[in-house]
Chains A and B, each alone.
Chain A
Amino acid sequence: MRIVHYLNQFFGGIGGEEHAGHRPEVRPGPVGPGMALKAALGGTAEIVATVICGDSWFNENLEEAKATVLGLIRQHEPDLVVAGPAFNAGRYGMACGAVAQVVTEQLGIPVVTGMYPENPGVEVYRRYAWVVETGNSAAAMRTAIPAMAAIVKRLAAGLEPEPGTYLERGLRVNTFAAERGSARAVEMLVRKLKGEPFTTEYPMPSFDRVPPNPPVKDLSKAKIALVTSGGIVPKGNPDHIESSSASKYGKYYLGDVDDLTAETHQTAHGGYDPTYANADADRVLPVDVMRELEREGVIGKLHDYWYATVGNGTSVANARAYARAIAEDLKKYEVDAVILTST
């Protein structure tokens, strides 16, 4: 089996961050971690060439980079491509992922890589590669290489890698079962009620737990802000927040607004029927009620800005980044509490 290995400028031995603009090149045989991989593979497969590209250059010239790297890989006629491991290096992980995508789509051969589970490359590209879970730094090379080599060996032998030896790829595969779904579900439920072990057929995503903030001591003196993932924006959606997989959030002045109307505001959200939100956006972002509470003295003040994004399909990592930026801004304005509304 012929392997082409993809590395960034650091592992390719060219240099650190100061060489991240290095353009793609190809060298014969294994380089850097490829030498360790070669040792781990024994005679199973041969690393015929190594493609090296700077992380910044790859990500800043994505389309050109994908095409160029693919061309360099293709000329060595590999049966399999190995990329990385990238550990928790974000740009390197994204580059390895993009290589996996273009190799899968254009050459139709398997790609093996290794990443720390929180590397953004996992979330974006896991369906295109067998991604071995690694530690978060290059100190984990000694465990990453044998794990990647094990998967390469399985693939070389014409076998599927064993579940659990790679990060879930998010691919759904149809299979035939002897019992229909309802019978299997009841069987699982009965086992669960009896306290017996059972294996789910559809693992639920795991969510992190966020400890609650301390309570607001005196609401009548508190400055309250409105933040929404329901997509409420000024009419015309001036920042062009996407209706799905939002790439940004907006911050809008509220100081002179008492009520959101169909003439002044709308939703940018594409994940629910917008009719009622567009008719009266207070249904999602309750400015009218907040103004009443402000006049009645129930709350101290409504913050002069609201913040909005579209939660529809937006990645957890992006949502977290927007939240961090919004929270920084809220702290700057000394906001005491936030009402988060969704849809």
Chain B
Amino acid sequence: MDMENQRRVKELAEKYPKEDLVVILGGAEAEASGLAAETVSNGDPAWAGPLAGVQLGLKAYHIFEPEIKEQVDPAVYEEQVSLMEMVLDVDAIVQEVRSIREQYAAW
């Protein structure tokens, strides 16, 4: 996750109760999505950005995960996401993000 986004997430987490925050990811493959989920929960795994060593414990979900998909207007999801859902490895992405969440999310 780039430094600017890390900084934004950190600011929001300082402003709002962490248990109320959910980070929605749109990464195109499993490893990158998992690293982003890890960054907002356990801290930047590359130890380079504002979240290096900062364990926010935030929950991160990928937009493909059923918990999030169910919350979205199906027509909007169809228009905005379904094409990518067809071409990307959804199972691998969902599994990776879920596994990171189970390990590191505090809420």
Q: Is A139 touching B47 in the complex (CB atoms < 8 A)? A: no
**Does B92 count as interface, using CB distance less than 8 angstroms?**
no
A161 contacts the other chain (CB 8 A): no
Kindly supply a per-residue 1/0 record for chain B positions 33-60, scoring 1 wherever the CB is within 8 Å of any chain A CB and 0 otherwise: 0010000000001111110110000000
B3 and A139 within 8 A (CB): no
Residues on the A chain within 8 Å of B53, using CB: 35-36
19 more contacts with CB within 8 A, not counting A138-B45, A141-B47, are A10-B48, A11-B47, A11-B48, A13-B3, A13-B50, A13-B52, A16-B2, A16-B3, A32-B47, A32-B48, A33-B47, A34-B47, A35-B47, A35-B52, A138-B46, A138-B48, A139-B35, A141-B45, A145-B47
Q: List 22 A-B contacts (CB under 8 A).
A: A10-B48, A11-B46, A11-B48, A13-B3, A13-B48, A13-B50, A13-B52, A16-B2, A16-B3, A32-B48, A33-B46, A35-B52, A35-B53, A36-B47, A36-B52, A36-B53, A138-B46, A139-B31, A139-B46, A141-B45, A142-B45, A145-B47
Interface readout for B1-29 with A: 1 if CB under 8 Å, 0 if not? 01100000000000000000000000000
B45 A139 Cβ-Cβ under 8 A: yes
CB contact list, B37-86 vs A, under 8 A: 45-50, 52-53
CB distance from B39 to the nearest CB of A (A): 11
Interface string of A23-38 (1 = CB under 8 A from B): 0000000001111100
Q: Does A15 contact B (CB under 8 A)?
A: yes
Cα of A145 to Cα of B50 in the assembled complex, Å: 19
Contacting residues, chain A, for B47 (C-beta < 8 A): 11, 32-36, 141, 145
Residue of A nearest to B46 (CB): A138
Enumerate chain A residues within 8 angstroms of B31, measured Cβ to Cβ.
139
> How distant is the Cα of A68 from the Cα of B76 in the complex, in angstroms?
57
Are B48 and A33 interface neighbours, CB within 8 A? yes
Cα(A177)–Cα(B48), bound, Å: 48
Say whether chain B's binding surface is mostly helix, strand, loop, or mixed.
loop
Q: How far is the CB of A295 from chain B (nearest CB, A)?
A: 57
A142 to B49, CA, bound (A): 15
Bound CA–CA A139/B96 (angstroms): 14
Specify the chain A residue showing the minimal Cβ separation from B42. A142
A35 to B54 alpha-carbon distance, docked (Å): 11
A107 vs B32: C-alpha distance in the bound complex, in angstroms? 40
Q: Which of B3, B45, B46, B52 has the most CB of A within 10 A?
A: B46
Chain B residues lying within 8 Å of A139, measured Cβ to Cβ, are 31, 35, 45-46
- Compute how far the CA of A10 lies from the CA of B2 in the bound complex, rounded to whole angstroms: 10
Residues of B close to A13: CB separation below 8 A: 3, 48-50, 52
Whole-angstrom distance between the Cβ of A148 and the nearest chain B Cβ: 12
Separation in Å of the B28 CB from the closest CB of chain A?
15
**What does the 1/0 interface line of A4-46 toward B look like (CB < 8 Å)?**
0000001101011000000000000000111110000000000
The smallest C-beta distance from B32 to any residue of chain A, in angstroms, reads 9
Q: Do A141 and B46 touch across chains, with their CB atoms under 8 A apart?
A: yes
1/0 contact string of A138-150 vs chain B (CB within 8 Å): 1101100100000
Chain B residue contacts of A10, Cβ below 8 A? 48
Q: Shortest beta-carbon distance, B16 to chain A, in Å?
A: 24
Minimum Cβ distance to chain A for residue B92 (Å): 15
Residue of chain A at shortest CB distance from B48: A11
Q: Closest CB of chain A to B9's CB: distance in Å? A: 16
Q: In the complex, what residues of B have CB within 8 A of residue A35's CB?
A: 47, 52-53
In the assembled complex, how far is the CB of residue B61 from the closest CB belonging to chain A, in whole angstroms? 20
Instruction: Contact check, B3 vs A15: say whether CB atoms are below 8 A apart.
Output: yes
* Inter-chain contacts of A141 with B (CB < 8 A): 45-47
A244 to chain B, nearest CB (A): 39
Minimum distance in angstroms from B10 CB to a CB of chain A: 13
How many angstroms from the CA of A15 to the CA of B4 in the assembled complex?
9
